[in-house]
Amino acid sequence: MSLYTWQEPNLWGVLDDTLRIRIGVTEEGYLWISVDIQMWPDRPTMGNFTHDDHNRYAPGEITLTDDGLLTAMHRHPAEHDFRSGFSLRVPPSFVSPLRQALERARGSNP
């Protein structure tokens, strides 16, 4: 499977045939993340894994480990330590380009 990356103003993405991850920056400087996954091997369409998430993260609330555990957890409300979000194990080939996309998103100013 080939891995493809792209960048647009305030939008970065990494995808292959079965997984697409997009990272964007809101006008307020928060990050949002969208994960689309091929849900069934016999259907070429992808379903959105993150559609029910609030999807507004401070830059430090999204992490990616060396072994590919992508975690996005935001606080509710910001002054408390109650967090919600998701964790997803991405293929090893996604780790480096996804880290680059996260760093660029964190460093951008909308």
**Predicted local distance difference test score (pLDDT) of residue 51:** 60
pTM here is 0.83
* DSSP code at position 106: H
Q: Which residue has the tokens 């307020």?
A: 28
Tell me the two tokens of residue 36.
Answer: 């689309």
Tell me the two tokens of residue 14.
Answer: 């990494």
Tell me the two tokens of residue 38.
Answer: 């091929």
**Could you list the pLDDT tens digit for every one of the 110 residues in the chain?**
689 998 998 899 999 988 999 999 988 889 999 998 887 777 767 777 666 556 789 888 999 999 999 999 987 776 777 888 889 999 999 999 999 999 999 987 55
**Predicted local distance difference test score (pLDDT) of residue 70:** 96
Max distance between CA atoms of the chain, in angstroms, equals 45
- Are 24 and 11 within 8 A, CB to CB? yes
